[in-house]
Every structure is written in C-alpha cells, then in structure tokens.
Chain A
Amino acid sequence: MSYKPELLTTAASLNELERLIAAGADAFVIGEARYGMRLPGEFPIDQIAEAVRIANPTGVKIYAAVNNLMDNEAVESLQAYMAALAETGVDAIVFGDPAVLMAARVHAPGIALHWNAEMTSTNYVTADYWGRRGASRFVLARELNMEQIVETAASTALELQVQVHGMTNIYHSKRSLVNSYMEHQQETDRLDRRDKDRGLYVMEAERKDERYPIFEDANGTHIMSSDDICMIENLHELMDAGVASLKVEGIMKSIDYNEIVIRAYRQAIDAYIADPQGYTFQEEWLDRIREAQDPNRELSYGFFYKEQVY
C-alpha cells in the first residue's frame, strides 16, 4: 500500500474551492455556521451538493463540518441535516459532539466520520475509543508536539489529521464578549460589525508584538492565534510518520494567499510521494509563502517543538 498524504484545506465559496482544486488541494472541509465551527465561508446544503459535484469527478473529497458543540435546538434539526448531507454524497462528516454520532448512526449510515474536538483530542487511546464508536479519522489537537504526534500515528488504527499551516483557535466562548465590552463602554456605534472579516484583534500589555484576532459569530466569540503554523520545512517528519491528512487552515486569509500556500505544499507532497528517500525540502517553497505572509503574523512551528508545563 503506497502512502499518499492528503492535502486538506478550507474554502469560503465554490469559486475558491475551484481555484484551490486547481492549486492542488485533495480535500475540503466545508459547511455552515449552524452546524460547523469557524468556517471561512457559508456552504448551505445545496452548495455542499454542488461542491461534491465539482470535486468528486476530479478525485477531490468533500468533508462536511458538523463539529459545533450542539445545543438542544441544533439537535432537533440534526437528524434531518444528516440525512440531507448523506444525499449530497459528501465523503465524510466531521464531528466533535457525540450527538452527531448518535444522529449519524441512524440517518447517515455508511458515511465516514472524522472526530474533531480540536483542543481535546490529545492521545491515541482516545483516538481508538472514537474509532470503536464509528470514527475513521482522528483530528489531533494543535497543542501536541511532534513526538506525541509520531507516537500517536504509530499507536492508533485510525487515520490522523494534523494541521500544518495557518491560524488556530485558542479560545471559544458562547458569550458575545466584544459586544458586552462595547455595551459596558456605552458606545456600541464604534463598530458596525464584529465578524471575522472586520479586522479586530486583542493585544496584551506585555506582548505588544502579538496580535490575536477576535471575532463573533452565531456560535459566540472566538480568539485566534497570533502566529500561523507553517510546517513546510519539516513536512517530511509528519509524512514519515504516515499522517494521513495534512491540513492547511484557510480561515481569515485571502484566496490569493491560500492558493500560494496550497501550491507550495502540493509541490512538497508530490516530491515526497515521488521519492520518499531522496526527498529534500526546497527553500523556494517557503520563500513564496514568506512573500505572501502578513508581516504582523509570524510563521511558526506552533507547538510542534515546544515543551509545555502544567
């Protein structure tokens, strides 16, 4: 069995999806905010169906994001939504709430399930636990280091997905925190909107060079990392470990930027597939990303090589 890692990304629209397929993406996570979390754009069910029609003939996969923390109200319509997703022919459903698993068993049987609880997917036994309950893929927390990822890959039967590029969420509240603050200040007219495209960020007094994007949507308030993960230099470590899916997160980036990033990772992955032993990283792949990178956002290794204490 030959190893071919998947290059997974996001898209804000069908148009972006087509451009990123052309740039070399193998798979997409798309969905709508009512069921999915922190998506670059809205894909109502008919557009998910359209995405499948565009993507599948080219061998590209579409995964539906149903990874919200569900409330009772969402659960009401979840069964119908799962059934509708099943009809679109999506290749997998991404979930992070057991309620989705319960609904999928009945209303979308046979569709692959990817467990993605973001920060709380941290070990191989838990991976296998969700595997025995129907998941085929385990999306690892971005707070793990390389050794933990490599060990998990060697220890679980499930496919692993690891984010290799872009922003990560670092805080999610159900509260409308920006709005509350503006109401406290009694000046709510300072901002017309508080969505992810408004360019809001928070800064802490002792960390003046770090800008943490903040936004509100139907699911509450989200704070994002001040740096962008960029693992292209060391991508072979993940590929050597057999990580099945390498994700480029496209949220809060322009399509032009995402296109450049996908092209670069495509080249790296193709070079690796062609000759795993002879593979060497090419500086020019990273240079193209560097050129496109927002100077206020550092390209970093995230937590891949960091020691954390507790």
Chain B
Amino acid sequence: MTVTEKTTQRYQGKRHRLNKPELLAPAGNLEKLKFAVHYGADAVYIGGQKYGLRSNADNFSFEEMKEGVEFANRYGAKVFVATNIYAHNEDIEGLEDYLRSLEEAGISAIIAADPVIIETAQRAAPKLEVHLSTQQSTLNWQAVQFWKEEGLPRVVLARETSFKDIAEIKKHVDIEIEAFIHGAMCSSFSGRCVLSNHFTDRDSNRGGCSQSCRWKYDLFVDDMPLYPEDEDKFTMGSKDLCMIEYLPELIEVGVDSFKIEGRMKSIHYVATVVNVYRQAIDSYFENPADFVVKPEWIEEINKAANRPLNTGFFLDTPGPEDHIYEPEEKAAPYDFAGVVLDYDAGTGFATVQQRNHFKLGQEVEFVGPQGTLFKQTVTEITDADGQAIDAARHPLQQIRIRTLKPVYPMDMMRKKTGKK
C-alpha cells in the first residue's frame, strides 16, 4: 500500500478544508477546558500525564479526559492531546498503551512532532488523527507535502511562516493548516533551543523549558560589555502574538485552524481570548464585506494580556519593537476576581466563587460568552450564610453579590485595579 492510498483511506469522507476555521484553544486542566469550550472554542488541546511539553501544567488523567470529551461533545467541540515531545529511548515503553488510552477516551487527535509518536499512533491507535506539531518547524510546502504523504491530515506550521508563506503552502498542498494566532512564542525555531538543558539541566524538548530566552543577558564584544551595565540588557524574549486585527487575512489565506497558545494560562485568560476570537470569526462570516475589528475586542484582549502584543512573522521578520527589553505596564487595569456559579432572579443576587480579593465600593464588570458585558459598583456582598461582609478575602470562597443585571453560570467577574 502506498502512502497516498493510506491517506485517502484513512481520511475519506472527512473534511480536507474546513468551511469556517476552527478556533482551537488551550486547556491546562478540566476547568479550563470547560471555560474554553463554553466561551466558544471549536476544539481544545490538552496535555496528558506523559509525552507533553508542559510538564509543569496540571495535565489530564484519562478519567479527566473522558469527562472533558463528554463536556466538549455537548457543544460539538473536539479534544486534542499534545504529545509533542521529542522522545528519548526510555520514553518509548508505554507509548502504545498511552495512545490507545487516548483513543479510548474519545480524543480526536494528537499533536506530535517526533516520528516515533506519529508512527506508533498510526499503527496502534488509528482512530486518532495525527497533527504535525509546530515543534517540527515546518516552513515550506514541500515538507508539508511530505507529511501529507505520510498520512497526516493537518500540519501546524512553524511560527516563522508569513502570510505569503502560508499562501504558497496552500497553493501547493491540499491539507489542513493550523497556525498560532495568539499567545506567547518561542523566539527560537520551535524545538531548536536547548538553553534550559545548558543553564538548568532541564530538557526543553521533553517539557522542561525554563524560559531562559526571557532572562536578561550581558552582551560582550572583545571581552568588553557592548553597552554600559545600567542600560537595558540583551534578551531573546519575544512579545506575545495577537492577530485579531488580521482576522480577514487569516481566513482568506486559508488557515483552517486558529490556535491560541497557553496551556499554563488562567481560565480568565483562556475564556477572554476565546470569547473575542469567537465573536470576531462569527462576525466575519455573517458579513465578510462589512467586517470591522471592534475596539471592544482589542480592549478585552488587553484585559487578559500578560505581555505586550505583536504580529510575529505574519507580516515581516520581527525587529526591535517585537522584543521585551524593558518592563512595560499592563495595558488594561482589570484583574480576574470571580466566577459566577448561580443567579437568583428573585433576589437579584449572584453566587460567585472568589478568585481574587474584591470589596464593597469597588468597580467590577461581568462578562460572558458572546461579549455580554456590563460594569457596576459592588454594593452588597454576603457570605454563604447570608451574613453581610465588606470584602471577599478568601480564595475560592463562595459569596453572594447583588448584580445590576442577570448573570449566568461561568460568567466571569473582573475588578478594576490601580487608582481608585
């Protein structure tokens, strides 16, 4: 059987090109998965106990995966698992069983870079789709063609590809293309960095990355510092990617899956970013000709942003403005403060699980899927027993708060920070 036959057979009847691009979100744990899906992700990617590149994340047990898949399926969403390490010999034992367990748990696809994982999945767990990870740093159509012939229905491109590169790849190869559109980036070619191995004896390509590219360094020439010690230091650290303003271009160039980075990020981050891209994608497809990027989307994105944002390699090669040499202020003065668990229309009180300190008199806002949003001042808080309190001080404490408008479970509450 030739490779091409294998491809056709395995993926016959399935989409080769999605009509509406998929919004693919990270989910570091079950709660984050639920928020990502609830806020509009078409698919989420998670890590299991092994073979993933975020060994510090919570990561899912098979039981949690099953629960996640069940939850996602209710929304028509899929769950992918990142198995994107470069495996060493000792990682091979148990791989087959692991992949079969993913298949049994109802996982739709794995994201893999190392041929040992790709090949083992194709043989041992054929119902799992294999998506080529960005860790393979795939930049050209010929390599994409190679992976297609190997039976992979989707390639996640290198973060170094531009719009022009993607167009060229799409022109040559009929395959699903996934691209990172939002979040933190390796400043190196993915997989081509072992700074952690050298600085901290942690294996970056097996999930041990210690983010050494974001450290500060002195740059020397002829044994002398290039710039005085008190000036901004050298770093490789990149700003974070944000492509919201180029959504039509991403759709029109034919990116099939829009990927948000951040399995280590909070539920607030994931829900906020997903919420914005969900609205933007839907708005584009309602009426492409009149599509505009709404200012409130940018505002929302900034409320979740951890670092300054840029457009990566999509338009051109990053320059000085795309790296972080000095501390910058948070773009939006809001912090995540709570999650709505319930709402009582009779009393006008919401039950909120505290996620950060907030108090009477403070300005807060409630946000839910599809961009519903309103601001109010905190006028009344009670504890679970109905006793009035002046502040929500205890992590994860359940309190009740009077809200200006009805709210729904999984809506989020933010508080205004800074002055005031």
Contact = CB atoms under 8 A, between A and B. Distances in A.
A308 interface: yes
B394 interface: no
A260 B70 CA distance: 65
Contact of B146 (A101, A123, A144, A200): A101
Interface string B211-236: 01101111111110011000110111
12 contacts: A70-B142, A125-B92, A125-B119, A143-B205, A171-B195, A171-B236, A187-B227, A201-B220, A204-B216, A204-B217, A221-B236, A310-B207
Given A125-B92, A173-B189, A181-B325, A207 B199 contact: yes
A171 B189 CA distance: 8
A169 B325 CA distance: 24
Interface string A223-248: 10110000000000000000000000
A306 B89 CA distance: 16
A172 B188 CA distance: 5
Interface stretch (B29-37, B75-83, B109-117, B340-348): B109-117
Interface residues of A, number: 71
B229 to A, nearest CB: 10
Given A123-B87, A205-B216, A174 B140 contact: no
Given A75-B140, A75-B141, A307-B201, A191 B226 contact: yes
Contacts of A74: 140
Most buried by B among A143, A144, A148, A171: A171
A248 B119 CA distance: 33
Interface in B138-167: 139-143, 145-147, 158, 160, 165
B58 interface: no
Nearest to A201: B220
A143 B319 CA distance: 31
Across the A-B interface, the 3 shortest Cβ-Cβ residue pairs = A310-B208, A99-B142, A98-B146
A285 to B, nearest CB: 27
Most buried by A among B116, B142, B232: B142
A184 B89 CA distance: 44
A204 to B, nearest CB: 6
Interface string A14-25: 000000000000
Contacts of A126: 87, 114-116
B150 to A, nearest CB: 9
Interface of A: 69-72, 74-75, 78, 97-99, 101-103, 118-120, 122-126, 129-130, 141, 143-144, 148, 151-152, 155, 169-178, 180-185, 187, 190-191, 198-205, 207, 211, 214, 220-221, 223, 225-226, 303, 306-310
Contacts of B236: 171, 173, 175, 177, 221, 223
Chain B, interface residues (CB within 8 Å), range: 35 or more
Interface of B: 55, 86-92, 113-116, 119-120, 135, 137, 139-143, 145-147, 158, 160, 165, 168-169, 187-189, 191-195, 197-199, 201-208, 212-213, 215-223, 226-227, 231-232, 234-236, 238, 313, 317-320, 322-323, 325
B221 A99 contact: no
B194 A119 contact: yes
B145 A183 contact: no
B213 A202 contact: no
A123 B114 contact: yes
